[in-house]
Structure 1
Amino acid sequence: MNYRIMIIEDDDKIAGILADFVERYGYETIRVLDFSAIKEQFIQHKPDLVLLDINLPRFDGFYWCRQIRLVSNVPILFISARTGEMDQVMAIEHGGDDYIAKPFHLEVVLAKIKGALRRAYGEYSVPAEHRDLLELHGLTLDRTRNTLIWQDSQVELTHKECLLYDTMARRLGHIVSREQLLEALWDDVHFVDDNTLTVNVTRLRKKLEQLGIVEAVETVRGSGYRLNPSWAGRQP
Structure 2
Amino acid sequence: MEEKIFIVEDDAAIFSSLKEHLEQWSFQVAGPENFQDIMTPFTQFNPQLVIMDIQLPAYDGFHWCREIRAVSNVPIIFLSSRDHPMDIVMAMNMGGDDYIQKPFHTDVLLAKIQATLRRAYSYAEPEEPMDELKWNGTTIDLKRCVIQGGTQEIELTKNEFFILSILVEANDEIVSRDDLIRKLWDDERFVNDNTLTVNVTRLRQKLSELGLGEAIVTKKGMGYMAVTLQENT
Normalised by the length of structure 2, the TM-score is 0.61
Distance apart, 1:39 and its partner CA: 1.9
Q: Which amino acid aligns with 1:142?
A: D
Give structure 1 stretches of 5+ with no counterpart: 170-175, 189-236
Kindly indicate whether residue 52 of structure 2 is the aligned counterpart of residue 43 of structure 1.
no
Larger radius of gyration: 1
Q: 1:186 to 1:148 in 2, by over 3 A?
A: closer
The answer on whether the counterparts of 1:146 and 1:162 sit within 8 Å (CA) in structure 2 is no
Match of 2:90 in 1: 90
**Amino acid across the alignment from 1:73:** N
Alignment of 1:1-150 (within 5 A): 1-122=1-122, 124-127=123-126, 129-133=129-133, 142=141, 145-147=144-146
Distance of 1:62 and 1:16 partners within structure 2: 22
SS in 1 for 2:129: helix
Task: Write the letter of the residue equivalent to 1:146.
Answer: C
- Which residue identity lines up with residue 88 of structure 1 in the other structure? I
- Runs of 4+ off more than 2 Å: 124-135, 140-149, 154-169, 183-188
Using the TM superposition, give the Cα deviation of residue 130 of structure 1 relative to its aligned residue in structure 2, in angstroms: 3.5
Contact 2:36–2:58 (CA under 8 A) maintained in structure 1: yes
User: CA separation in 2, counterparts of 1:26 and 1:44?
Assistant: 20
**2:40, 2:216 → 1: CA distance?**
29
**Count of aligned pairs between the two proteins:** 170
> What is the RMSD of the two structures over their aligned residues, measured on CA atoms?
3.4
Aligned residues: percent identity? Answer: 43
Unaligned runs of 5+ in 2: 161-200, 220-233
Once the two structures are TM-superposed, the CA of residue 75 in structure 1 deviates from its matched residue by 0.9
Q: Could you report, residue by residue, the CA deviation over 1:94-117 in whole angstroms, capped at 9, with x for unpaired residues? A: 110111100000000111100001
1:40 and 1:13 map into 2 onto residues whose CA distance is: 23
Query: Per-residue deviation at 1:35?
Result: 1.1
